[in-house]
Structure 1
Amino acid sequence: MVRHCDSIATLVFEKSIRSYPGQFVMLNVFDYEEIPLSLSSPNSVTVKAVGETTRALVNFKGGEIVGIRGPFGRPFSYSKRALIVAGGIGIAPLRYLYHWLRERNAEVTVFYGARSKEELVFLDEFEEVHVSTDDGSYGYRGNVIQLLIKENVDFNDFERVYCCGPPIMLKSLYELLNKKKILKRAEFSVERYMRCGIGLCGSCVLENGLRVCREGPVFRGDELTF
């Protein structure tokens, strides 16, 4: 158990889960509910307290027992030259991806935005990272999409653009990449409410009919609409 700040923590499991970056597990917190969480490593999830169950997870002391189903979903793909764009707790699956790519000798550049310095996690793990905070407490003052534009990033320098974050951030990045006609080279990790995690209940169906738990949670940019 690693407590990053009052609202964010990483829960480390006793055993690794055979998985790939971008996949998720259904975590059953006894006396609460079962929720989907992206893996932040083969043996961990990183969670932000946004409701009763996630608050309970963040307040764990270590040694607790949870139920795990999975891993589920389509993961990220490999590329030799990667650009990672993370917003907030979206850094969780992208942290797993970062280390997986680096272990396979990929070149990885990270752009990472959060509300404040307090909510920046795993920052010291990245070799090349550009940071923004909404309140200006660390790095560039503004959001991560504004930072990409400010630094005039040439997306043609990368084989893949990987991203995860809040919907408004994903929408802004989608529009930016669409203008540059490179959506096919982008991979978006999308979050939706899920009940079953295996494609049966329909709770996570997108507007285009794709299920986040089965066809996702990682989608190519040209598979999505915002």
Structure 2
Amino acid sequence: MTDNKFWQLTQDKLVGTGLAGLGIRAPFTIPSGIVTTAPSVISAIAKLPEIGFLTTKTLSLRPRAGYREPVIHEYYPGCFVNAVGLANPGAEVFLRTMQALLPLHENKPLVVSIMGENPQEFLDCALVLDPIADAFELNLSCPHVKGAGQSIGSDPEAVSEVIRSIKVRTRKPVIPKLSPNLGDIAGMARLCRDSGADALSLINTVGPGIALDQEGNPILSNVLGGLSGSGILPIGIKSVREASRAVDLPIIASGGIGSADDVRSYASVGASLFAIGSSLAGLSTPQLANFFERLMDSLNGGQQNSPQGPVRSERRMNYMKTQVIENSRLGAGIFKLVLEQGPACNPGMYFFLRLPEVGEKPFSPAWDTEPVYLVRKVGIFTEALEKLQSGDSIYMRGPYGNGFEQPWPHESVVLVGGGTGTAPILMAARRWPNSVFRAFFGFSEQVNDSFHKEMLQFVPSANIIYDRPNEIGKVVRSLAEDACSHREDYSRSRVYVCGPAAMMNAVYAVLDGIVPPERICIAREDIMKCGIGLCGTCATEQGFRSCVDGPVETRA
């Protein structure tokens, strides 16, 4: 990265303001509610030199479940409609988790975003989170949650009371986040300044709006969602311009930033700091780091290319409609869903299956172009899948994530699958049959003869094991015994594993010291809601996001 000339010019806007004491040393953050939504990811992203401060997701006094999936949709390349519903674990849970990871890298400040349905709730939430907050962002702008966000931000008396009370009780900088939907941005900016605000954050999403599928069904489970991405850039610039002309406060600009020119545009109308969110869609953690490095280099007079490269011409969340060919019971609570058609993918990658007005969930296929899924009935959505009949319609999107690497010529592979995690392992066996050295498939209940024979058809040497209540871990014990008996063969093999987390951890433990860790490939079964790295639901303990950094990973 070249000398940070751009930051040297923009940081002067913070001198003598309420943000001056935070020690911000770079101009960028990621806005509330996107990417850095989990403490582990916040801690990891803090290591990027271009990130000057971190912003949490919006936190409430009590936990909020938010909305069911789908929660986000790309209706046009680079343009999104989303309604997560301000899902969060609640202030006290977040406090405990975040405290364990502080201080952040180089003591970077943490801006804690909070919400409330009234001024007292805002204050109570701030007081709980005060021990970890270097500043508070006030969510006065969410356009699709009743009784919070924009509904509070449209009440001048409530806004003033929230700002004053938090300033008095916490003595921390307060940054109201305002919505362009409120109309009089200049007037609201002056109200915030007069009430004691130290800076402003502009803008949140625009809208709400509605995205429909090809049959006219609303895609988001909440129907309505806020608009974000490149399409709202002109609105963001207009809002920042109006606010900066009305008040002399630092402004954190967000909304459609995807290039150095976008940053310069916001800076030219008065922005001091810059939050980038939707442009990070689909980027793995290394790609995200590269994005910010290239962006800063361009701002400092280096390469002039937009950091995300050529403008995208295709959507990353495009649904295709297909039909059910077969829906058959395999055992207690587990069934096989066969669809008419689907895109090709590598073993270990995944797709989202969607039923309008019911929801969507991610699944790794046991085969791709004639899609086969193994599904366990665990909730509302999988219960609806179980009821599908031949000829019924279903939507799918994908593939997403990283799959298993193709084995080298003459390289042997050990396969280990548990429950529905057997699906991508079976696909690996079908894709690379000549590489399979050993295979272990474990189930908690007996599967029917037809599926048993089907597994043996693809992997004739497979060990199919049933862990009855008094035999938990039998598949891992079988693997351990075989690995000890054929230690040299295992040491030269690559291992593909997918199943319950406890099983995968046990597999890793028994192979430790036998198989090099970089050759043990684990396909995580984390909860994923977007598939493009934005919502952060699938954050790992190491600060990665399974949907884009995985789901296949090694622990090397």
The TM-score, its normalising length taken from structure 2, stands at 0.37
Map 1:76-155 to 2 at 5 A: 76-79=404-407, 80-102=411-433, 105-118=434-447, 122-125=454-457, 126-135=459-468, 142-151=473-482, 152-155=484-487
Q: 1:149 to 1:106 in 2, by over 3 A?
A: closer
Q: Which residue of 2 aligns with 1:205?
A: 539
CA contact (8 A) 2:440 2:463 kept: yes
Q: Which residue of 1 aligns with 2:40?
A: none
For residue 192 of structure 1, give the secondary structure of its aligned residue in structure 2.
coil
Q: Which amino acid aligns with 1:215?
A: D
Structure 2 gaps of 5+ residues are 1-325
CA contact (8 A) 2:467 2:474 kept: yes
Map 1:155-174 to 2 at 5 A: 155-158=487-490, 159-174=493-508
For residue 60 of structure 1, give the secondary structure of its aligned residue in structure 2.
coil
Q: Which amino acid aligns with 2:537?
A: S
Work out which of the residue numbers 361, 364, 379 in structure 2 matches 1:51: 379
Q: 1:130 to 1:6 in 2, by over 3 A?
A: closer
Residue 9 of structure 1: how far off its partner (Å): 1.8
CA contact (8 A) 1:188 1:220 kept: yes
For residue 171 of structure 1, give the secondary structure of its aligned residue in structure 2.
helix
Task: Give per-residue Cα distances to partners, 1:108-165, cap 9 Å, x unaligned.
Answer: 42111111323775433221111321129xxx98521111123335354142001011
Q: Which residue of 1 aligns with 2:553?
A: 219
Task: Give per-residue Cα distances to partners, 1:9-58, cap 9 Å, x unaligned.
Answer: 22222113221111100111222111111111012222111111112212
CA contact (8 A) 1:8 1:48 kept: yes
Q: Which residue of 2 aligns with 1:26?
A: 352
Task: Give per-residue Cα distances to partners, 1:60-81, cap 9 Å, x unaligned.
Answer: 2221111111000001012231
CA contact (8 A) 1:132 1:141 kept: no
Q: 1:9 to 1:107 in 2, by over 3 A?
A: same
Structure 1 gaps of 5+ residues are none
Q: Which has the larger radius of gyration?
A: 2
For residue 335 of structure 2, give the secondary structure of its aligned residue in structure 1.
strand
Q: 1:207 to 1:4 in 2, by over 3 A?
A: same
Instruction: Report the Cα distance in structure 2 between the residues aligned to 1:106 and 1:171, rounded to whole angstroms.
Output: 24
Q: 1:153 to 1:29 in 2, by over 3 A?
A: farther
RMSD over aligned Cα, in angstroms? 2.2
Q: Which amino acid aligns with 1:123?
A: M
Identity of aligned pairs, percent? 29
Q: Which amino acid aligns with 1:34?
A: E
Q: Which residue of 2 aligns with 1:10?
A: 336
Q: Which amino acid aligns with 2:340?
A: E
Residue 107 of structure 1: how far off its partner (Å): 3.3
Q: Which residue of 1 aligns with 2:43?
A: none
Q: Which residue of 1 aligns with 2:123?
A: none
| Counterpart check, 1:72 vs 2:400 | yes
CA contact (8 A) 1:7 1:58 kept: no
Range moving further from structure 2, 155-164 or 184-193: 155-164
CA contact (8 A) 1:101 1:108 kept: no
Q: 1:64 to 1:147 in 2, by over 3 A?
A: same
Task: Give per-residue Cα distances to partners, 1:176-197, cap 9 Å, x unaligned.
Answer: 2234362111100001111111
CA contact (8 A) 1:26 1:68 kept: yes
Q: 1:173 to 1:69 in 2, by over 3 A?
A: same
Range moving further from structure 2, 148-157 or 52-61: 148-157
Q: Which residue of 2 aligns with 1:196?
A: 530
Q: How many aligned positions are there? A: 218
User: By percentage of residues, which structure has more helix?
Assistant: 2
Map 1:35-46 to 2 at 5 A: 35-42=361-368, 43-46=371-374
Q: Which amino acid aligns with 1:53?
A: F
Q: Which amino acid aligns with 1:46?
A: L
Instruction: Report the Cα distance in structure 2 between the residues aligned to 1:181 and 1:109, rounded to whole angstroms.
Output: 14
Instruction: Report the Cα distance in structure 1 between the residues aligned to 2:485 and 2:519, rounded to whole angstroms.
Output: 15
For residue 99 of structure 1, give the secondary structure of its aligned residue in structure 2.
helix
Q: Which amino acid aligns with 1:38?
A: S
Instruction: Report the Cα distance in structure 2 between the residues aligned to 1:98 and 1:181, rounded to whole angstroms.
Output: 20
Instruction: Report the Cα distance in structure 2 between the residues aligned to 1:61 and 1:123, rounded to whole angstroms.
Output: 24
Instruction: Report the Cα distance in structure 1 between the residues aligned to 2:427 and 2:550, rounded to whole angstroms.
Output: 17
For residue 41 of structure 1, give the secondary structure of its aligned residue in structure 2.
coil
Residue 59 of structure 1: how far off its partner (Å): 2.5
